[in-house]
Structure 1
């Protein structure tokens, strides 16, 4: 295989054009739906009415996005993952839960980012209800009252399941298909959060900081990209762990040196016989 067909990002993993094509990242939407600002990465093939994506642009954008994600991971920042469509929600939830990141896989609730104080109070209510139920405090209520409480608890759990551990604004937003999640993009821009987004030929790439130019609807394409994200998060967390281990070792060495130095000072203070 030609060397130009392979590109690597900072973690050392290769991005192969043949793999991108096999996963179907090159398929866009119909030509009449191409966004004016997406034309630089679209390709017309023969008499097809489908806009194809230039995979060189895909690879370039994916490298940039993966490096940005890795940097956030290494700095131990929080990434909020968003993907509510059927082709993305399971994989989004899988990766987020694997690395203990918050996620939205069902429905974006307006104000998650721009009205975070209210969101936090709702999450607090959810946790309080769970504690009350577990402690047996609900036993004092009638059967009908307990059923109403159960229903309210289920609703809160469904709404906030993926973001219940979110105790501050995230440091980055990762979105599959900005067209589908326009409110999330708008809120992130309003709060000046960096945005990584998998976007297609019908999207404006200028609305996000790190566009991943690719098919944003097919499961195989989404899975391929999220697998690369999985790899880079794993690499980032490994480097954090290594850094902590080296820090502990350095601290222990420093303590040993201080003890030895203190011993030498004490010997100098003690007059020789």
Structure 2
């Protein structure tokens, strides 16, 4: 789906930060200055959304995961809902230090959650004292809050999608260290050179965040659908091959 500049305008995607707070590296994406605020060039935003969308669709079609990161108040619920809808992992609470660079430790914490869940299923949990059960429940709740959305992430993500790279600078640094591609909404107060796929946009207003995430997750959905079609075609081809082989076998047996 083509990105319309008008819809971006209506969502307030064009509003940047105060001119005195800008990062000069965002100059190529700034259209003008109005009342002390930088206005983002929405034609460039639309082009960048489409460019990012194509790359994200390819990643999704390959079967790999994209980790969505947004811990700011205006973005967390939007990201949790939209990433959840496409079955992609997301971090909307505090970024767990070493989430990427020390992924083995993070996986251990996730396994701990699974162990507690097993204890509750097999009855082991009930054999603990009241105090121990309380401690285990607290630990489970804490792990769920911080890691609940990444429990199915068995390996490092193929890409990160970030809302507000200034706020999520630790996540950005970890991804850079591991050469994981970074897609991000980048406002006029941030350095776009830290990101592989820049989407110049207002990263503070919920309407703007919602609009960008809608396009991004739609692109991911297209990639996932393409993967399903490809898998269905392969399964059909295998079934045809099997049927032909069985017919050939039956024919040869009749000849004998």
TM-score (norm 1): 0.89
Distance in 1 of aligned mates of 2:141 and 2:253: 67
Aligned residues: 256
Structure-2 change in CA distance of 1:260 and 1:130 (3 Å): closer
2:27 to 20, 26, 39: 39
2:176 to 169, 189, 194: 189
1:92 aligned to 2:79? yes
Aligned runs of 1:158-197 on 2, under 5 Å? 158-197=145-184
The Cα offsets for residues 81-139 of structure 1, whole Å up to 9 and x where unpaired, read as 11111111111111222222111011101100000111111111111112112322122
Worse-superposed segment, 73-82 or 224-233: 224-233
Q: Which runs of 5+ in 2 are unaligned?
A: none
Root-mean-square deviation (Å): 1.5
The Cα offsets for residues 167-221 of structure 1, whole Å up to 9 and x where unpaired, read as 1111111110101100000000001101100111011111111111111111001
Residue 98 of structure 2 contacts residue 174 of structure 2 at CA under 8 Å; is this kept in 1?
yes
Structure 1 ranges of 4+ moved more than 6 A: none
Residue 163 of structure 2 contacts residue 203 of structure 2 at CA under 8 Å; is this kept in 1?
yes
Distance in 2 of aligned mates of 1:139 and 1:30: 57
What is the deviation of 1:232? 1.5
What is the deviation of 1:247? 1.2
Greater RCO (Cα-Cα under 8 Å, separation 6 or more) = 2
Distance in 2 of aligned mates of 1:133 and 1:174: 35
User: Secondary structure at 1:162's aligned position in 2?
Assistant: helix
Structure-2 change in CA distance of 1:45 and 1:133 (3 Å): same
Q: Which structure has greater helix proportion?
A: 2
Worse-superposed segment, 226-235 or 187-196: 226-235
The Cα offsets for residues 119-170 of structure 1, whole Å up to 9 and x where unpaired, read as 1111111111121123221222222222222222211221211112221111
User: Secondary structure at 1:161's aligned position in 2?
Assistant: helix
**Which structure would you say has the larger Rg?**
1
Residue 25 (structure 1) aligns with: 13
Q: Which runs of 5+ in 1 are unaligned?
A: 1-12
1:142 to 129, 146, 170: 129
1:74 aligned to 2:61? yes
Distance in 1 of aligned mates of 2:33 and 2:162: 28
